[in-house]
Amino acid sequence: MNPLGINLWNWCAGLGPDCLGLPTRAARMGFTAVELPMTVPEVPDALRRELAETGLPVTLCAALGPGRDLSSFDPSVRAATMDYLTGCLETGRTLGASVLCGPLYAGGGKRHWLGADERAREWELAVTGLRELSRRAADCGVTLSLEPLNRYRTSVCNTSAQVLALIDDIGAPNVGLHFDTYHACLEEKDLGGALEAALRSGRVDHFHACANNRGAPGQGIVPWEEVLGLLVRYGYSGHITMETFALGGLDSSWTQVHEGPDELALAGLRYLQGFFGQVSGAGA
């Protein structure tokens, strides 16, 4: 079975002392992986020790809000972003993390219309920055996984097809596609078709299982059996990670529209375990 993970954003607004105890809680619930919300690039020592004690595989999710942007026209912003992402990779090396995922090309808070020349320049800055980052990632033993974001967060890459084109231009073997069902629900014409095309490319190396309203797998209007069935059909072997948010977190609602964090985590985990248990049983 794929590692079934949860991002600690489910319980806290960012990486820090509030995360202590959460990997242990996730492990006791039955999750087989955790993802760290890299609002800062350094992990507290106590959390580092706790992660080691749980033995859970770790992935890292970059937090690229305004001011963190590898495709910025401002060289000081690009340099600061490269420093931040390099710090995340160094943390990944020490934790044995397999993936640094997220919108590594630019991030959220960047929405603008550009003329053709400026658009091409922005794209080339993203390509150049990510080529360099891929070299640093290889030194750290970490794969980069690029996530398309919805139109309300960025104007750079909104669909999986755009990210696949970016990956082709980067041309590095350790750069792949991070498919997130929440963002895909907003931007793809055909959710199943987009996922199948991405899987067929062989480039999908990380997967976020999120409902259209940031709920858990099994909830919302996502055709979960079709989506998860495609992962099985194409032999996707990477992490399947819940990315839900505590109130006040990055993509949380303004009202409590979901169960409490523990209940939401368990609902998603039980759905995933049930689906993959069924598939495993059918194949026996």
Output helix, strand, coil percentages for the chain, rounded to the nearest 5.
45, 15, 40
The domain limits of the chain are 4-283
pLDDT of residue 54: 98
Share of the chain above pLDDT 90, in %: 85
pLDDT tens sequence across 100-126? 999 999 977 887 888 999 899 999 999
In one letter, which amino acid is 28? R
Cβ–Cβ under 8 Å, residues 224 and 192:
no
pLDDT tens sequence across 225-242? 999 999 999 999 999 999
SS3 state of residue 59: strand
The token duo for 238 is 């990477």
pLDDT of residue 280: 58
The C-alpha angle with vertex 203 and arms to 61 and 129, in degrees rounded to 5, equals 55
| Rounded-to-integer distance, Cα 20 and Cα 24, Å | 8
Helix and strand counts by DSSP (H, E) for the chain = 9, 8
pLDDT tens sequence across 127-164? 999 999 999 999 999 999 999 999 998 989 999 999 99
pLDDT tens sequence across 20-33? 999 999 999 999 99
Model confidence, pTM: 0.94
CATH class of 4-283: alpha beta
pLDDT tens sequence across 69-82? 999 999 999 999 99
